[in-house]
Structure 1
Amino acid sequence: MNLLFTCAGRRNYLLKYFKEIIGKQGVIIAVDSNPLAPAFADADLSFEMQPVHHPEYLVELKDVIDRYQVDLVIPLNDIELPLLSKNKSYLESGGARVVVSNEKIVSIASDKWKTFRFFQHLNIKTPLSFLSVNDAEDAISNGLVNFPLILKPRWGSASIGIKQVDNRRELRLAYEWLNVEIEKSVLNQMNFSQIDEAIIIQEKLTGQEFGMDILNDFEGRHYGSFARKKLIMRSGETDKATTAISEQFSELGRKLSGQTKHIGIMDCDFFLANDQVYFLEMNPRFGGGYPLSHAGGVNVPGIYIEWSKGNRNVSEYDNYIDNLTFSKCDTVVNVPKQNRLNVESILSL
C-alpha cells in the first residue's frame, strides 16, 4: 500500500506512525512546496511541488498519484482542502482514495463564520461572532458581549493572526492592521468571494480548552471521539495535553459527526466554561494535537489501513486511556535534497 502525504511540512510523526503499520509492504511519499520540509526526512520518496494556490499544483499532484500508484492520499493543510475536495473525482480516477470530506463540509469548516452559523443551527453552544466592527460595538453597547474580544482571519489556519483587544480603540486599530496582514498573505491569492469580510470578531471564553479528534470511517459514519484537555499551546498547536474520556464529550462528537458526515479524522476545539461546552472550530484533517491522542491509545493510521483493506474490526488499534498526560518535543532531522517536479515534462508524457 503506497501512501501520499500532501503539504507534509513538519508532520514527521504521522509518516512514522503509518510506516510502523505498513512496514516494507508499501511506500511513504511526501510532497511540499518547501524543499526543506522536515517530513521529507522520514519519507521513502519526497518531492518539492508548486504551492497549493499555483495553477499547476493539481497536475503535479495527479502525476505523483498515478506514477507511483498511490492507494491513499492524506491531506495535511487546511488551505488545500477546498481544492482537493472539489477535484476529488479527478484525483481518484486512477484508483487512489483521497481522505477528504465533501465540498459542503469543507467549505463550512474552512470559513469560521460559516462554522459559527453551523454550530448555531445545530444548537451547539459557540462564542458569539461578528463580521464587522460596527456589529461588535453594537453588541457591546447592548450588553451581549464584553471586552476582551478576539480577532482572527476568517479563513485562517494554525492560529495565525489572532489578536486580543481590550477596548474600542484597540478593536478598530487591530481590525485595520489585521486587514493589512491578510492582504499580504496567501489568503489574497485564494480568490475568496468575500475577502472584504475576511476577519471574524469573537467573544473570548474563559474556561478549560479541549481538543477532540472525531473519527468517521471512509463512508462518513461515526466511529469514535477522542478528547484531550489542553495544558499548553505552542505556535497554534497543542504542545501538552491530558487524555479525557467523557460521555458528554463523546455524545457531542457523535452529534457533530452525524451532521457533518466528514471523512476520516476531524480535529475540533472547544471550551468547557461553567459546565457548558462551547465549540470553536472544526478541521477535517489530522490536527497538531493528534500525536497526543495517538500516545493515549488510539492508532488512527492503523485504523485507516484496516479500513483501506476492507476490514471493519479495528479494536486492536483503539485502546484510549483516560487521564494520561503527554508533551511534545523537538528533534533535528537531515533533510534530503529535493528535485522540483517539472510540469512541462509531466504534460508531455
Structure 2
Amino acid sequence: MNILFTCAGRRNYLITYFRHALGGAGQLVAADCSDQATALREADEAVILPRVDAPDYIDELLALCAEKQIALLVPLNDHELPLLAREQARFSAIGTRVLVSSLEVVELAADKLATASFAEQVGLLAPKTYHSLEAALVALDCNEIQFPLIIKPRWGSASLGVEWVEDRETLVLAWRWSQHRFPALGLRQDAVDGSGLIIQSALPGQEYGLDVVNDLSGRYRATFVKRKLSMRAGETERATTESHPVLEAVGERLGQALGHIGNLDCDLFYDGQRVYLLELNPRFGGGYPFSAEAGADVPAALIAWAQGREPTSRWCELCAGVSVAKCDRLVQMARINRQAEVVSMSGPAEAMEIPGVSSVGH
C-alpha cells in the first residue's frame, strides 16, 4: 500500500517509523508547500503542493492520491484537518483513506474554549478561561484566579502568540500587544466580536503528554503516557515514558468520548490528585517519537487496520522508564522537482551518546 504524508515539514522520524512498519510493501510519498521541508528527503517520492489555504489545495491533493494510488493519507498540520474532514467522501471515492477525525472532533480540538467545556463534560478539570481582558480583571479582583496567567490564541497552533504574564500591568500590556500583532499570525478570529484571544490560568502539577489511539472505526485501543521534561518551540523536547493507571484511564475516557480516528495527541497536568486537560490534537503530534522509541508502533497498527486486519499485540507494548531527547540532524538538500524521487541521509550526521537517553532526530 502507498502512504502519503501531507504538510510533512520536519517530521522525518514519522516517515522512518512508517517505513519500518510497511516493510517495503509500498511507497512512502511526502508532500509540502516548500521544497525546503526536510521530511521530503526521507520519503520514496517528494511532491510540492499548493499551500493549505490555496483554493486548489484539495483538488491537487485528490489528483495526487489518484495518480500515486494512495491508500492512506496522513495529515500532519492542524490547518488542513478541517478541510480533509469535510472532503473525506471524495477521497474515499478514489480509494484513499484519510487519517482524520470527524469535523466535530476536529473543531472541538482546535477551539480552546470548547476543549475546556469538553473537559468538564467528561469529568476532568480545565484551566479557568476568559474570553476578554475585562473578564479576567474582574476574576482577579474577586480572587477567582491568581497570577501567573497565560494569553494565547483561542484557535492557536504550535504555541504561536502565547504570552506568560506575572502581574496586572504586564497582563494589560501583553493583551494589547497580542491584539495588535494577532492579524500577522494568520490565526482564526471570532466571527462575533473579532477577538481570537483568551486568558487562562496556569495549571498546577506535572505536565504529561498522552498518545490516545483509536482504530479507524473510532474504537479505543491504547494510551501511551509520557512525563514531559522540557519543551522547545511548542513541542516536547525531552520526556520519559511511564506506566500510569490514572492517566491511562483518562486516555481511555477521552478516546471513548471523542471517537476520534488514529492518534490523539493530548496535553494535561496531574498534581497527584486532580487531572487538568489542556489541549487536544487529533493527529500525530511532536510527542509521538517518545512513545515509538519506547516500543509503541502506531504506524503498524494503522497499516493493519487499513488493510482490514488486526495488528499483533506488540504494537501497543510500551516500556516504562525510557527517557528520550530530540536532537538536530543534518539532511542533504537534494533538488526537488514537482514529483521526483529523492535521496536522504540514512541517519544523523553526528550524534553524541548519552547514557540512559536515546536521541531522536527532530
| Alignment TM class, shorter chain as reference | over 0.9
SS in 2 for 1:331: coil
SS in 1 for 2:330: coil
1:167 is matched with: 167
2:15 is matched with: 15
CA contact (8 A) 1:211 1:229 kept: yes
2:348 is matched with: none
SS in 2 for 1:53: coil
1:152 is matched with: 152
Can you give the 5+ residue segments of structure 1 that lack an aligned partner in the other structure? 342-349
2:239 is matched with: 241
**Once the 2 structures are TM-superposed, how far is the Cα of residue 296 of structure 1 from its aligned partner?**
1.0
How large is the RMSD of aligned CA atoms in angstroms? 1.5
**Once the 2 structures are TM-superposed, how far is the Cα of residue 272 of structure 1 from its aligned partner?**
1.2
CA contact (8 A) 2:295 2:316 kept: yes
State the one-letter code of the partner of 2:182. I
CA contact (8 A) 1:297 1:321 kept: yes
* Alpha-carbon distance between aligned partners in 2 of 1:208 and 1:67, rounded to the nearest angstrom: 47
2:47 is matched with: 47
**Once the 2 structures are TM-superposed, how far is the Cα of residue 141 of structure 1 from its aligned partner?**
1.2
CA contact (8 A) 2:130 2:198 kept: yes
**Once the 2 structures are TM-superposed, how far is the Cα of residue 318 of structure 1 from its aligned partner?**
2.1
Task: Select which of 180, 204, 207 maps to 2:205.
Answer: 207
* Alpha-carbon distance between aligned partners in 2 of 1:230 and 1:110, rounded to the nearest angstrom: 22
* Alpha-carbon distance between aligned partners in 1 of 2:261 and 2:66, rounded to the nearest angstrom: 22
Aligned pairs (5 A) from 1:102-181 = 102-181=102-181
Mean alpha-carbon deviation: is it higher for 44-53 or for 98-107? 44-53
Q: Deviations over 1:110-159 (max 9, x none)?
A: 11111111112222111111110111111111111001100111111111
CA contact (8 A) 2:231 2:238 kept: yes
CA contact (8 A) 2:127 2:201 kept: yes
**Once the 2 structures are TM-superposed, how far is the Cα of residue 338 of structure 1 from its aligned partner?**
2.7
CA contact (8 A) 2:296 2:316 kept: yes
State the one-letter code of the partner of 1:103. L
**Once the 2 structures are TM-superposed, how far is the Cα of residue 77 of structure 1 from its aligned partner?**
0.8
**Once the 2 structures are TM-superposed, how far is the Cα of residue 20 of structure 1 from its aligned partner?**
1.2
State the one-letter code of the partner of 1:193. A
1:31 is matched with: 31
Distance change in 2, residues 1:239/1:266 (3 Å): same
**Once the 2 structures are TM-superposed, how far is the Cα of residue 274 of structure 1 from its aligned partner?**
4.8
Distance change in 2, residues 1:35/1:62 (3 Å): same
1:218 is matched with: 216
1:276 is matched with: 274
CA contact (8 A) 2:161 2:185 kept: no
SS in 1 for 2:89: helix
Can you give the 5+ residue segments of structure 2 that lack an aligned partner in the other structure? 340-362
Mean alpha-carbon deviation: is it higher for 177-186 or for 322-331? 177-186
SS in 1 for 2:249: helix
State the one-letter code of the partner of 2:201. E
* Alpha-carbon distance between aligned partners in 2 of 1:284 and 1:142, rounded to the nearest angstrom: 36
1:101 is matched with: 101
1:324 is matched with: 322
Task: Select which of 273, 287, 308 maps to 1:310.
Answer: 308
* Alpha-carbon distance between aligned partners in 2 of 1:43 and 1:195, rounded to the nearest angstrom: 44
Please, what TM-score do these two structures have when normalized by structure 2? 0.90
* Alpha-carbon distance between aligned partners in 2 of 1:314 and 1:266, rounded to the nearest angstrom: 21
* Alpha-carbon distance between aligned partners in 2 of 1:314 and 1:284, rounded to the nearest angstrom: 24
* Alpha-carbon distance between aligned partners in 2 of 1:340 and 1:154, rounded to the nearest angstrom: 35
State the one-letter code of the partner of 1:222. Y
* Alpha-carbon distance between aligned partners in 1 of 2:305 and 2:236, rounded to the nearest angstrom: 27
State the one-letter code of the partner of 2:110. S
* Alpha-carbon distance between aligned partners in 1 of 2:316 and 2:271, rounded to the nearest angstrom: 29
Please, what TM-score do these two structures have when normalized by structure 1? 0.94
* Alpha-carbon distance between aligned partners in 1 of 2:27 and 2:250, rounded to the nearest angstrom: 37
CA contact (8 A) 2:154 2:198 kept: yes
CA contact (8 A) 2:298 2:315 kept: yes
1:338 is matched with: 336
State the one-letter code of the partner of 1:132. S
* Alpha-carbon distance between aligned partners in 2 of 1:195 and 1:181, rounded to the nearest angstrom: 17
Question: Percent identity at matched positions?
Answer: 40
2:345 is matched with: none
**Once the 2 structures are TM-superposed, how far is the Cα of residue 270 of structure 1 from its aligned partner?**
0.4
SS in 2 for 1:187: coil
2:4 is matched with: 4
* Alpha-carbon distance between aligned partners in 1 of 2:239 and 2:65, rounded to the nearest angstrom: 35
* Alpha-carbon distance between aligned partners in 2 of 1:246 and 1:9, rounded to the nearest angstrom: 32
CA contact (8 A) 2:75 2:283 kept: yes
**Once the 2 structures are TM-superposed, how far is the Cα of residue 195 of structure 1 from its aligned partner?**
7.2
1:92 is matched with: 92
Distance change in 2, residues 1:99/1:320 (3 Å): same
Distance change in 2, residues 1:195/1:87 (3 Å): farther
CA contact (8 A) 1:209 1:271 kept: yes
1:82 is matched with: 82
Distance change in 2, residues 1:194/1:59 (3 Å): farther
* Alpha-carbon distance between aligned partners in 2 of 1:313 and 1:299, rounded to the nearest angstrom: 10
* Alpha-carbon distance between aligned partners in 1 of 2:130 and 2:312, rounded to the nearest angstrom: 42
CA contact (8 A) 1:40 1:336 kept: no
SS in 2 for 1:267: strand
